[in-house]
Structure 1
């Protein structure tokens, strides 16, 4: 996929100066969790540049926090990719895998735990360190949403039925794990957003748009890989069916929708100061809420820059 298919995102990306530290720590983490790492060929994984994605999407965090971000991103990629095999067409087996991982969120490391389960337990322990109970409860619910979405995705592969748009969005918003990624903005930055602000309509809408933009863009990039293996939860396929059009036209339609969401994102971002005033936030609370919004913007800018260059979505 060429840069002609890239979105115009009007906010610049930055790159953390701790990239080398995070990359070395991430390699060490993968060495300790070989069964997880072995999901992908080591050379191919290197071309994905996972630590680079962490450095671009979290440019302002400290070195240890950036290493945690890289490990979490690596977990997402490798965990998802195990279902590209025949395993991804066996929903009952996928459910058993995901249920055991969900148990870890609630304090239980299953008997005879696998290397993947131990890798996730390590991530969860590090992610929750020092965070308040309210944040941990939200983070656990969002991880559970992510894990619980995979059996339905496996059922979709097995049936080969392309979902309608509402069904696609419902599942995609779970498997994309963007709420978990946004939760980590608070953990990596060492703050928690005030409850009234976090659930304010403007910030909720901002977060939803920010979560959907990468999913739409990613569907275009990953379509050449997903279509041959029968993945049906891809918006390009849905648009092809809606319009009875070729893939190239469907890709253009999806990107046009994503570009409109970028415009919505910029508008919602500009509405935040008014929302903060209406909530009567004090100076400290406004600063925290703005850091969170800035973190979402940095994530989007960094992800979209990385997506244009990574080897993860190359077919040749």
Structure 2
């Protein structure tokens, strides 16, 4: 994975290379798609690296994030997945172009539309977040929860797993809303667990985080807010498993039960892997939080 990221210019220097290694995304991929081929394990890890590094250009740097630069970057990235316009762009664009060319042709037109829609929504939410940060806007609890589901990039990653786990969105009459609810629960678990792990760093860097937002909204100490967010996250895990059971039950004869079970199992594996990985990754280690030039390049 490091050779891939270095070769395409996704990592700019030795500092970013060491940070990428510290993320342990190879281990994340092995936990997420344990029965995948070596090629699909690598593809999963590389997509995760791309997603984390793009996100970290905004959140793990003390360099001022300018909303116009954020919007311009995402315009270029969306051009890659809609028109193949990587050209001679940045390493970020070249990496996405490489990933897209190795993933999209294997999937249906409907999948491609869904991935683009999910990534576009992530981009829009990130731009909204950047603008709010520049303007000093502090979200309320309910608004933060909605936006966090969009900025965590769990939905685009879930799309990728349809490919690398061999578990495409199941065609289940009457079950589309339930599939969407399952995906949203997975995204919430990922986002809220991420915030629990990164709470100390986010507080130090004066970034909104579910722990600090809840503390502000309820007027309670951060230690209490941390406990409350943990309970929220645990309840959301139970929601996920309840939705998964309901979806599996709906898949009766003639509705592709095997496809439904594969999809539910793949998302369940993603949730389990994310919970484990966020407990062992060094992505949020303080040594990676220092001024980095060119955050949005």
Q: What residue in structure 2 maps to residue 11 of structure 1?
A: none
Query: Which of 174, 179, 182 in structure 2 is aligned with 1:203?
Result: 179
Inter-partner Cα distance in structure 2 for 1:193 and 1:42: 34
Q: What residue in structure 2 maps to residue 299 of structure 1?
A: 270
Scaled by the length of structure 2, what TM-score is found? 0.89
CA contact (8 A) 1:185 1:292 kept: no
Are 1:176 and 2:149 matched, yes or no?
no
CA contact (8 A) 2:10 2:95 kept: no
Inter-partner Cα distance in structure 1 for 2:249 and 2:25: 36
Are 1:165 and 2:141 matched, yes or no?
yes
Q: What residue in structure 2 maps to residue 73 of structure 1?
A: 48
1:198-234 CA distance string (max 9 Å, x none)? 95333222221111011111101111111222222x1
Are 1:146 and 2:122 matched, yes or no?
yes
Q: What residue in structure 2 maps to residue 286 of structure 1?
A: 257
Inter-partner Cα distance in structure 2 for 1:257 and 1:241: 16
Name structure 2 gaps, 5 residues minimum: 288-297
CA contact (8 A) 1:33 1:115 kept: yes
Inter-partner Cα distance in structure 1 for 2:62 and 2:109: 39
Q: What residue in structure 1 maps to residue 37 of structure 2?
A: 62
CA contact (8 A) 1:33 1:119 kept: yes
CA contact (8 A) 1:210 1:296 kept: yes
Map 1:21-100 → 2, pairs under 5 A: 26-38=1-13, 40-84=15-59, 85=61, 89-100=65-76
Q: What residue in structure 2 maps to residue 8 of structure 1?
A: none
CA contact (8 A) 1:101 1:120 kept: yes
Scaled by the length of structure 1, what TM-score is found? 0.84
Inter-partner Cα distance in structure 2 for 1:74 and 1:67: 10
Q: Deviation of residue 55 (structure 1)?
A: 0.8
Inter-partner Cα distance in structure 2 for 1:187 and 1:292: 11
Map 1:212-251 → 2, pairs under 5 A: 212-232=188-208, 234-251=209-226
Q: Deviation of residue 129 (structure 1)?
A: 2.4
Query: Which of 131, 152, 161 in structure 2 is aligned with 1:155?
Result: 131
Inter-partner Cα distance in structure 1 for 2:173 and 2:278: 30
CA contact (8 A) 1:202 1:275 kept: no
DSSP 3-state at the match of 2:72: helix
DSSP 3-state at the match of 2:106: coil
CA contact (8 A) 2:210 2:229 kept: yes
Equivalences, count: 286
CA contact (8 A) 1:236 1:254 kept: yes
Inter-partner Cα distance in structure 1 for 2:217 and 2:112: 41
CA contact (8 A) 1:39 1:82 kept: no
